[in-house]
A and B are shown apart, each in its own frame.
Chain A
Amino acid sequence: MTVFQRLSRPFNYLRDKYVGHPFLLVGATLKTLFVSHVFLEYGFTMGACEGASMLPTLEVYGDSVLISKAYRRGRGIKVGDVVQFDSVVEPGSQVIKTVLGLEGDYVLRDSPGTSGQMIQVPRGHCWVVGDNLDFSRDSRMFGPMPMALIKGKVIAKVLPWSERKWLINELKHVQ
């Protein structure tokens, strides 16, 4: 068997199976779309992000990140993780921020050096703040955010390819 025959075998299989069988073709196309949807919703997804709110971590424009959906609804999220969630302020848009407090934690309600008032994060909520405190709409404005809004955790920066890196939570417990 020549190399050509060997390589063209899967295409011959697809041709024999689907050419002249429109219903099979439509069914297979739909199933492929549904499988990819499930993968993007429950597995991993990639997205471009923009905005100045996460500045040292993510650039203002042109960065793409890899998001693991295993952390949806805040499962296994720790303080210091970067999460993607449905916006509280603008429904329909997604936001990326850093988690600064989980349920039961005491957090600073405003930016450091302003009021100094601490509040406790209620049950099922978390406290999210952008890394760039001056240009971020976050929990300091809309308060504790329900964990159910969290869609996933940002695990890596993928694009630009030269700046690719895993986003590792570098917070450690104080000794």
Chain B
Amino acid sequence: MRANRPLLEVDRLRVEFPTRRGTLVAVDEISFHIDPGEVLGVVGESGAGKSLTGSAIIGLLEPPGRIAGGRILFDGSRIDDLPYEQMRRIRGKQIGAVFQDPLTSLNPLYSVGRQLIETITTHLDLSEGQARKRAIELLAEVGIPAPERRIDQYPHQFSGGMRQRVVIALALCANPRLIIADEPTTALDVSIQAQIIALLKKLCREHGTAVMLVTHDMGVIAETADRVAVMYAGRIAEIGPARQVIKQPLHPYTVGLMGSIPMVGTDADRLVQIEGAMPRLTEIPPGCAFNPRCPKVFERCRHDRPDLIRVGPASTACWLYDGQAGHD
């Protein structure tokens, strides 16, 4: 038993896309939690269901995608079945979001100040003038020089990195307790990426904000996350403390993923490559979804689907560890 209640608890979440040729299961019964102030990194290839999980949590799955099963609890109460209006009050106020592309996340027709002020006055009981003051403070906090002047400028007058700072200010402006950052640095220059991640990390530590950091950049995870969830084909392959997962990965997929990161100071001639590609949602094989690519595949993997098995501080969905399960 944990002493503290987790801030976010995702319990057997299932996201489906009904199509003409049958229902696609994009997120398949995944469970995880995020503690207050904790940074959970979620990694995986494109299409593994990382972003959809984030969208499902903030209640912004795009139709026809829908939550087909499971529960999402925020601070102990269910939020997956809330009516739109109640969920709207949670979005921005309790759960903020940062999206991938800062160039398209801001409305080009309104000044950044207007966008900040409208978000602040939507959630907090402040006057226009107070909201403006807070907006300037926020811009200063995210490291925008001369915020009193910049506040009245339009998004096109900001560079990509500066816009992502504005987006972060927008996500933080009602002091949410959780931020879902969906690939916040993917669209940025490499030199800017580190700055933005450092900023996000610093602000969240100062504000005590928990973060679900969706990315496919293991470097970002290693630097930022407290725990990591590795997703593959809509399921969690492995979840555990970041250091543990990076240093001693359990699941053969995670092992392959870690092997494909270039490391300075190691003498590997070639990076390890995982053979094949992640299956499409329509062609997920029976058993473990990774079995056609797995170097350690054995008979059971081909027809039994593994659930998360606890191994030390981490958990993994792999039959290799069946029987080694530790007892909580």
* A joins B in a complex: no
Binding site for A on B (CB under 8 A): none
Binding site for B on A (CB under 8 A): none
